[in-house]
Structure 1
């Protein structure tokens, strides 16, 4: 058997590994489920040592044992942007603070926006500061946990933490760095060192690399833990959503990925940087590229919550019940802001709203209304992306949620858009394997493994119903904002310290 490539992705609810040949054939794959911690309202954390490194060790050991050939390259992606404060040997000093679903740094966002100027932040960083940004999380940790801060000598994202454990190198990929606002200058493609110094103080900034670039080799210690051969090349890696977009062939300007996962996330390829305060402009996975991104705060996590509160009814049964409900859920509209909202509101105190409930509504109605609420949020974001750049030429749907044909159909119906689904749906780990192959020199940089499997087209017969309910959806947030903000403050006051 020829040399193989190993990609590992650490998602919100699981870690996945894919072992592939250089032509993209999947030799073996595996998954490890895990959970994030929600210790207080607005907080979302992960034990990076036990969960992320533990998963990588387990996944690598299993796939190395199943491969039967030498692994020529490794690449890891993970949820992000996150903050992992560590000692000099990449040992975490506190749980990792997660991406935009962790909204603890609200005061720091406001302070840094005021200090540097909202317009200047958008101009230099490509986006406004929000709960998605790492800079305010760094300042929060420095301010609120000084003892922890004193113990830290380096800081990482989720994937760069694993890369450090594998290689000993202190490196961050450009794409992740471009989400560490306001530390990175999007046009200079380098650290904004003046602003960074005010936030990180004496903590050094990591070296920058492109996602597929080889940044080190597996050390003897990492080899003993993971089963990987000492000296195996390791690429820089990146954020999971962009690795997934890479796996799906989102490589050309006009391509747009919609990722159905714990959250809904969008990555569109740009021909040049375009700045919009309601969206995120980032560096791309490949050198000298840019993307325009957006993301909701909840989606698959919302349907999982519904499954829990109805007593763990099998997911397939709930989908079947929802499928029997007519479009529009018989007058039920849900705002899916159960963990605040990112795009387009950037409101950490937004909360879920279910409008129109009656005694005749069932759990099937609620489940369908959740899918429809997520679809309405998707439509709102797609309209923003249309306004900020050219209308996407191709909408590529990926992620575990695409296995629910009902969900993808509702999104096409609500949005009036056709979606194409790739044949391989394993996700970001597949993109990681491709990046590993490019980095190791086994593949040309332009290699694309993606092929289209099926197409989802909108049902025009339900367009009028959804257009009407979409108008209601758009009106609900401003109409209820002040009320849910008061409730959110009450939740925060009663949260455990």
Structure 2
């Protein structure tokens, strides 16, 4: 007899991932569909929403094809904050603009700050206005593509788009809304109508629910397309990093989640709202929770870039070479700002820098320098989080980059902090499955996903990394003027 199970699906930057999970947390099977965002110009990243739904339907059918499980609930998540505008019939007016990797909205940020006040935006919205925020991206469409914007009536993100296609419901979770700065008031946990009218005129913003609440049930039409049973509940969902945090139980006060993926994300849970001009203050995925968050524009994206440069390279082989390189990468130092940088630098015109290169350096040295660069970026973010009033008591790591031991070990060595690894580190799709299971039962993350190991810092590497970190912090201000000039040349 088929066992009852839940499905979790996450729409990520470079792939969509789905898991079929038993009600006890056992992973039955997983499925992946890889994709590549369109890059229609410098600093621009877009995706066609049709890709999200097509990949969801393919994943759902693949996961359920063997017929050994009966799906009784669905959980969704996705990258964000993204901006997908549709007309009143839910037909997209243009491809979705992605989160902070897309840096096109600089002029809109300046204009909105002038009109609303930079300090007031932080006070009400929790975060400074940056290219991560959804609000300026909406304003960019209104100003640069007015004929398309004239048709726009609704705002979606990847998770809410899946919800709409599955259930017909037009909703968004509170956390995703809180990254729509300046449209959302983090104190009242509601859309702020005066600023919404200013920044997103004519858009009927979606009703808000918490991530674990049911958005609706699978319609008969969606059931035909996906192979899922009609009538089963679907979660409201959330942004991928917050689903990742839920998947490893990192939602308690003092927790810091590190998400190792194409980008690096940090989510620190705090007891009361905190703000910083260099971080994002948001509401959490669960009712009553607050976060201070950071995100690096690239991390795994840099190692993927290096892998692709080396025709015969693969991550496992390059990791072995990097391990042989040793701490400090034989005198190489890298800034990982290959797509600009989000927190805490907040500079869309930042670029990658590799300092200290000689003819003696190897592929392993370069790969090691990339891993160390992301670790230095994590340390920088942690220092800013604590300077803003954060109190980090536990670090929990999740994501594809935790599969090998070297990257997590380097991060612990650089930051001086242990990292807890849970048994399952799949990430957001597993977190979505957990929320789905909680819709239909009393699933607990500690029962589903117990601690597997703790990565502890190597004291012998501390002095070396302290020295290199000091140089890392000097490298950006020393090169930023030159790099900004080069970034301008790239745009031309």
| TM-score bracket relative to the smaller structure | over 0.9
8 Å CA contact retained: 2:247, 2:445: no
Distance 2:485 2:469 in 1: 25
What stretches of structure 1 of length at least 5 have no aligned partner?
none
Structure 1-normalised TM-score? 0.96
Q: Deviations over 1:48-89 (max 9, x none)?
A: 11x211110101111222353432211110000101112333
8 Å CA contact retained: 1:28, 1:66: no
Q: Deviations over 1:111-141 (max 9, x none)?
A: 1112111111111011101111000000001
Whether 1:340 aligns to 2:353 is no
Q: Bigger CA drift: 129-138 or 83-92?
A: 83-92
Deviation, 1:149, is 1.2
8 Å CA contact retained: 1:27, 1:67: no
Distance 1:122 1:360 in 2: 48
Residue in structure 2 matched with residue 465 of structure 1 by the alignment: 464
Count the aligned residue pairs.
491
8 Å CA contact retained: 1:413, 1:460: yes
8 Å CA contact retained: 1:174, 1:189: yes
Q: 2:92 aligns to what SS in structure 1? A: coil
Q: Detail structure 1 runs of 4+ shifted over 4 Å in the superposition.
A: 444-448
What stretches of structure 2 of length at least 5 have no aligned partner?
none
Q: Deviations over 1:131-183 (max 9, x none)?
A: 11000000001111112212322111111111111111110000000000000
8 Å CA contact retained: 2:270, 2:390: no
Change (3 A) 1:317 1:435: same
Q: 1:138 aligns to what SS in structure 2? A: helix
Residue in structure 1 matched with residue 17 of structure 2 by the alignment: 16
Distance 1:48 1:161 in 2: 8
8 Å CA contact retained: 2:186, 2:283: yes
Q: Bigger CA drift: 16-25 or 376-385?
A: 16-25
Deviation, 1:390, is 4.0
8 Å CA contact retained: 2:3, 2:68: no
Q: CA RMSD in A?
A: 1.4
Deviation, 1:444, is 6.1
Q: 1:44 aligns to what SS in structure 2? A: strand
Alignment of 1:110-121 (within 5 A): 110-121=110-121
Change (3 A) 1:267 1:66: farther
Q: 2:150 aligns to what SS in structure 1? A: helix
Deviation, 1:23, is 1.8
Distance 2:370 2:443 in 1: 43
Residue in structure 1 matched with residue 195 of structure 2 by the alignment: 195
Change (3 A) 1:384 1:67: farther
Distance 2:17 2:390 in 1: 34
8 Å CA contact retained: 1:371, 1:407: yes
8 Å CA contact retained: 1:178, 1:185: yes
Distance 1:199 1:18 in 2: 38
Residue in structure 2 matched with residue 380 of structure 1 by the alignment: 380
Distance 1:279 1:473 in 2: 19
Alignment of 1:310-321 (within 5 A): 310-321=310-321
